[in-house]
Chain A
């Protein structure tokens, strides 16, 4: 049975009638919402959804306005990357075990993909997982792990077969971040704070039930995760003149003394670019809702990074003297990812990461060129060579 708007609305109202958000604690309400299938309506029944068209989620959001909401700054990796991967590749037990606390925020997720020696060339990663009976023993080092210090679980890609070419010897796991041998150390960034971590894995034992997908299928599973990440980073809905553009425009309006013709021209350029990017994102979401996903996802992240960097740069520049200051260099661990918070200097520096995290802009351009435009790949020296024989 496909559900229509009215049926969804009825369900949302029934949820509110049974669990008055004013008198229900946050987690209880979110659990009830998940169990009512109103977490993500396009997910299957029993897993927080109703198997309904994705666009009906808007109906739920409208009906449940003002009720406890998700902390998406903390839960970005879980919602945007782990959940779609578990849904696609997980066993029934895995789906039932992980998706509910992931969605309610009771369990935070992080991502153990990049390594000091494997960034853009992720498939060359060296963290080893060796089978030992019903368990895997994991050794290696991961890096750029947002929120590892808050996380209960991680999605992990490790090498299970060094004797085959790099893409074929990988396996995808759920990593227990509380397991012995998991050591999380903060990694200080150019902003002064530590949003990321280094994660050292030493003799970490993971039961085989934590494997996602088949042994050796890790690259295919990871591709799925990364595509979802890029849509999640670049495809956030917005309103006209919102986000960083809104912050810059407000400064411009509040301070007539900073206005020059040169800045005005550049701001109008950026306003138009922000708006066409927003429209492209809206069109992409329409395509997704209509069940015809376009290849625009990687492009949205590319456009978002360029725009954010340009806007955050002009934001510092146009403040003149004030731009010479910085709000706070104190070393601290942040527990949320925030592109529009704090001062202009912080935003400028944080935006530099937008063209690196989740696939550098250079890698994204190559993906677009090869997978969307069908241009031939660069000659590859590493393609058919067993991973262990690659030059390093």
Chain B
């Protein structure tokens, strides 16, 4: 195990960072969020195909790169650092991992299409869904009549209801509605949990209604299925749980990238900004706040690397992911809030990109389980049993 970055990982980082610096300055993002869709299709094509990030997590035999969570994590750090509106997390991590974990013949051609970046997918669950709403055994919770498909065990259920709203009709079509799905508005294919199994539905056969979203660089959408034709890609919901955990673990790296940008940008600003005839960054009140934030980010990097390594090796995965999410979600929000505050009035303006990071950080805090949901899941591994109810 290593918590450092390998040479290959650093090369991948340099490639992604170079491309984003070139093609994706903050001003571009601000202009994009006011367009109909913030997604940058050309940029995604270059990232997905030329740099090859779309196929990172797809096995080599299905034309992917067969890389691990460690490399995907480095890509997410860079995408977080630039709040890049591309569907890497939603398609190349979440949807892809669900299909990889399903390991079915039906999933294989989809994975090949995803690997090339020609097809984009999204998991049709609320972005607020934590990995803990599904029973770890792989046996989905079923209610009488089979109408409700996903278990809602755990206190986090209220923060993210899983795919319970979609059911499979007698003719094999899907009907129902899922709220707050991330990446649905750019997906060609939706991976839908319904009646205890996973289905693939062409996005064209569903009604995708983008919502006015807090995170303008990764909006969510309500997705409605009305007798939508569907192909079954997994027999149970275990691949969905695996994908949510995988996504939660890697989201920590995106949060790390967000936090790092906020710290770097703030430090640069307080060195320049002068009040009382000196740089405001020379005031101890500000220096100490930034030093504390720096330390939180040092810890976040270790936790995010540890989660990525655990996902890559398959050891200690649940605990490592929960620790990373319990810490990094809060740190990213703290970093973004400090960024706004320490920029003073400028930080409150639409023109300055700080708000894009604040919105991403706050939405990420809810995404794939809140810090509280992840902390609660640690009671058992920590040996800290809950008090009686």
Contact = CB atoms under 8 A, between A and B. Distances in A.
Interface string A44-61: 000000000000000000
A279 B299 contact: yes
A276 to B, nearest CB: 4
B323 interface: yes
A249 B282 contact: no
Given A241-B382, A256-B387, A287-B4, 17 more contacts: A249-B383, A256-B388, A259-B385, A260-B387, A264-B386, A265-B375, A268-B375, A271-B384, A273-B299, A275-B323, A276-B323, A296-B298, A364-B291, A372-B294, A375-B287, A376-B279, A379-B278
B89 interface: no
A155 interface: no
Contacts of B291: 299, 302, 364-366, 368-369, 372-373
B326 interface: yes
A283 B309 CA distance: 13
Interface of B: 2-4, 267, 270-271, 278-279, 281-284, 286-288, 290-292, 294-295, 298-303, 305-306, 323, 326-327, 375-376, 378-379, 382-388
Closest 6 A/B residue pairs (Cβ): A369-B287, A259-B387, A279-B302, A365-B291, A368-B291, A276-B299
A253 B383 contact: yes
A375 B271 contact: yes
A338 B44 CA distance: 56
A208 to B, nearest CB: 40
Contact of B282 (A263, A302, A376): A376
A22 to B, nearest CB: 35
Contacts of A282: 3, 302
Contacts of B303: 275-276, 279
A269 B267 CA distance: 28
A53 to B, nearest CB: 15
Contacts of B4: 283, 286-287, 290
A264 B288 contact: no
A264 B387 contact: yes
- Identify the interface centre among B4, B271, B278: most chain A CB within 10 Å of its CB: B4
Interface of A: 241, 249, 252-253, 256, 259-261, 263-265, 267-269, 271-273, 275-277, 279-280, 282-283, 286-287, 290, 296, 299, 302-303, 362, 364-366, 368-370, 372-379
A247 to B, nearest CB: 12
A264 B384 contact: yes
B299 A375 contact: no
B382 A271 contact: yes
A365 B286 CA distance: 10
Contacts of B282: 375-379
A365 to B, nearest CB: 4
A34 B254 CA distance: 47
A103 to B, nearest CB: 29
Contact of A267 (B283, B287, B299, B384): B384
6 contacts: A263-B387, A268-B382, A280-B298, A366-B291, A368-B294, A379-B278
Given A366-B288, A373-B267, A280 B299 contact: yes
Contacts of B386: 259, 261, 264
Contacts of A261: 386-387
Contacts of A267: 382, 384
Contacts of B267: 373-375
A271 B378 contact: yes
Contact of B376 (A252, A268, A273, A276): A268
A365 B287 contact: yes
Nearest to B278: A379
A372 B267 CA distance: 11
A369 to B, nearest CB: 3
B200 to A, nearest CB: 37
A77 B267 CA distance: 35
A129 to B, nearest CB: 33
B284 A366 contact: yes
A272 B384 contact: no
Contacts of B327: 272-273, 276
B294 A373 contact: yes
A150 to B, nearest CB: 34
Contacts of B270: 375
Contacts of A366: 284, 287-288, 291
A364 B383 CA distance: 33
A131 to B, nearest CB: 38
B350 to A, nearest CB: 28
B290 A369 contact: yes
A259 B3 CA distance: 35
Contacts of A369: 281, 287-288, 290-291
Contacts of B375: 265, 268-269, 272
Contacts of A256: 387-388
A368 B288 CA distance: 8
Contacts of B385: 252-253, 259
A139 B303 CA distance: 49
